[in-house]
Amino acid sequence: GIQVEQSPPDLILQEGANSTLRCNFSDSVNNLQWFHQNPWGQLINLFYIPSGTKQNGRLSATTVATERYSLLYISSSQTTDSGVYFCAVDRSQGNLIFGKGTKLSVKP
């Protein structure tokens, strides 16, 4: 089956720093999503990005489907960005395969 690997597993930043999170996947996919799981456990949709680049405020994402990876950029990080970031690819029929996540801690 499709493998999804995220790196780094843990990341500690000082407030205001920039970061790049990576998601590699082992097969071609039709859908890729990035989520933020906040400290209360809620999964927040960040991007639906099967290919190309999208931006939403301080966050942007790029997926290069032909090379089987996606990147999530966080600029000028804030403490509220802390949590776990997941990428997930769609195996079809609504079955998302999640990576293990990147745990981000932003220090004031």
Stretch that binds another protein, among 12-20, 42-50, 59-67, 72-80 (CB under 8 A): 42-50
59 binds another protein (CB under 8 A): no
Rg (CA), the chain: 13
DSSP lists the bridge partners of residue 54 as 61
Considering the complex, state which of residue 83 and residue 99 has its C-beta at the smaller distance from another protein: 99
CA dihedral 88, 103, 19, 105 (to 10 degrees): 150
> Which of 68, 69, 82, 90 lies at the binding interface for another protein (CB under 8 A)?
90
Query: How many Å apart are CA 48 and CA 61, to the nearest integer?
Result: 9
> Which of 86, 102, 104, 106 lies at the binding interface for another protein (CB under 8 A)?
86
50 binds another protein (CB under 8 A): yes
Smallest distance, another protein to C-beta of residue 2, A: 12
Which amino acid is present at 79?
T
